[in-house]
A and B are shown apart, each in its own frame.
Chain A
């Protein structure tokens, strides 16, 4: 089969699965689960087939879909190395998470709806991965937002889930508004939205990016990224999105959807002018530090991991801003592995403790759930960027890049380096805290006492993803085997970042600070972990930070009062404006149409009514008048 057919099959299989589930299998949860998982593994197999047999040439195919005069929307596939890596991430991680869901959702009544939502999500994210033009990307962008909305509201009987899903969708929509403006302006300015054509236009003409329009377009396109990847100031939806089931959090809000923003930035990197990249870099670095701090103030295991995700997204954004989209993609892939493992591990723990999510009601689970514990440990170490683990390679390279920027472009950029370093420290702290409180020590509640290892449906994906989070990064050493694999990844996927990684290493060597950087990173990570264990590991029931520094803890817990500010704005400012407009609208329409034209019609009616006298003679007199009138007209 040729590439077009396989890619079309990959894209449309989950759609077919979703349609079948929606039409026939809503009540047959088991069958729906089986169908969805089968389709997921089929997609993984097809993707691996593509990745192992692709010849490395950029592949592009498209067909016209809608035409409005001179404007044409087309749908197509653009397959290059970035696509390859993202396709691997999406298909691989999603399939194992689907398998995990079978175990996690075994006691849920609405399994059919859940797996239908997962299938639709697969369809949407694959559309984003494969899209070749911005309009098609936007369509699938919105579809992904819808899938997220649907899945967050899975437990729709609770108010919190409903509000969270609405919040996620609306905040995304705010970002997408800027995104849409950017797409339209891009079309107007460059004449096309096709990625290949845009790339061709801008290749070799870097001065085109200096105009104000280009800068504005870049900033507007960035709005979409800000909304989808929950960057400042639209990060408020991600923590609430944890109201959805854990597999959803793992798949959508850690591994794939929020990473779609980064993937998008990498795809349109050539459209972003230096000013835009600056902005992205600084906001990413700030986000890293801020989210890392906030994670220390959460007692819900999933919310902690959500802040961790925000922090890592900040890293990826920072990498893009520094001019290394390939490193951002690398970190995206590694992050998908270990964050998915962390979320799935937390899901396993939550399921074992009967849907208890407060970490201070867990404890000592390493003994009771060894597989979960060990995979969680592996992923945590990757999270902290310990060398030799997958996260270590990608995150350290980003920190190195930040340092080099400060080294080459001026000392103000050392601020970026310090921020990301601080973020690394926080990462180590909260990861250590999480692991110590949940898995070490003594059980703090009845449920934790009676926890036991989860079913194979849940542990097998944990093991697979855990191994990847251990060794995913070994590909940078260039060990090829089997003709198609480098490290643990297919060779075609590694091309994206291998060269950039090498270049970065050489630049670091040249500046002479390579070893110091590595040492500093390692020291910070280990110190953070040790401090966390010492501070949190032997705590009895509550959070020691809350006990010892309640002011600080309170700030972290309210995560910077963003939610409160937005609430205030919506309630006091926006609602008042809406009420005012509503009143004007009512007044306008009531006057113009109710009393105006409506009244006029009524008046005319009551006047004309008088003509109906019911007397034949009156009618004949009118007839006579008409005849005389026509006579006069005829005579002239």
Chain B
């Protein structure tokens, strides 16, 4: 059973990713991206990282992509429909094939583990950060071993917020511009 789900969701993810790249309309690309992120979340579930799966849906697909859609729709509709240039197509596909081969080749180095038994063990003194599904383990890790990165991440979010506010201020020069007019060089 899990094998079937694995193949289904991975195929879904890859197809959605391809559609992100090949779509002409940016809004369509964003929608396909949401599907791809959902597929990745499903794969997380198959790996028994339930907390991360939820986090992926809520933060990534839910907040980040919605923000993307906001910005796409904020900008001029004419700018959304930009096709892929044919000249680049060949080079891009060649690059794609090369990278895929490379990825496959790299993956072959790792041993196969047949079954995925369920994991319930919470961290103990013997194996402090062993893999576990409970959300508690995140707490264990974040507040003991990775405390500094945790605090820094908080700081990072604060500075990102401040940065965004500063960057989105309208300068006096912008006030005179009408977005509908043709661009000034």
Give me the interface of A with B, judged by CB distance under 8 Å: 617, 621, 624, 628, 631
Contacts and interface: CB of A to CB of B under 8 A. Distances in A.
B144 interface: no
A44 B102 CA distance: 98
Contacts of A628: 98
B92 to A, nearest CB: 9
A624 B88 contact: no
B102 A631 contact: yes
Nearest to B85: A617
Q: Is the interface of A mostly helix, strand, loop or mixed?
A: helix
A628 B99 CA distance: 9
B102 A617 contact: no
5 contacts: A617-B88, A621-B91, A624-B95, A628-B98, A631-B102
Q: Is the interface of B mostly helix, strand, loop or mixed?
A: helix
Contacts of A624: 95
Contacts of B91: 621
A621 B87 CA distance: 14
Contacts of A621: 91
Nearest to B106: A631
Interface in B72-126: 88, 91, 95, 98, 102
B91 to A, nearest CB: 8
A169 to B, nearest CB: 66
A621 B98 CA distance: 13
Contacts of B102: 631
A630 to B, nearest CB: 12
B79 to A, nearest CB: 16
Contacts of A631: 102
Nearest to A620: B95
Contacts of B88: 617
A631 B91 CA distance: 19
A620 to B, nearest CB: 9
A628 B98 CA distance: 10
A621 B91 CA distance: 10
Enumerate the 3 nearest inter-chain pairs by beta-carbon distance, A residue then B residue, closest first: A624-B95, A631-B102, A617-B88
A86 B54 CA distance: 104
Nearest to A628: B98
B20 to A, nearest CB: 17
B72 to A, nearest CB: 18
Contacts of A617: 88
Nearest to B98: A628
Nearest to B88: A617
B95 to A, nearest CB: 6
Nearest to B91: A621
Contacts of B95: 624
B131 to A, nearest CB: 28
Nearest to A624: B95
A621 B88 CA distance: 11
B161 to A, nearest CB: 27
Contacts of B98: 628
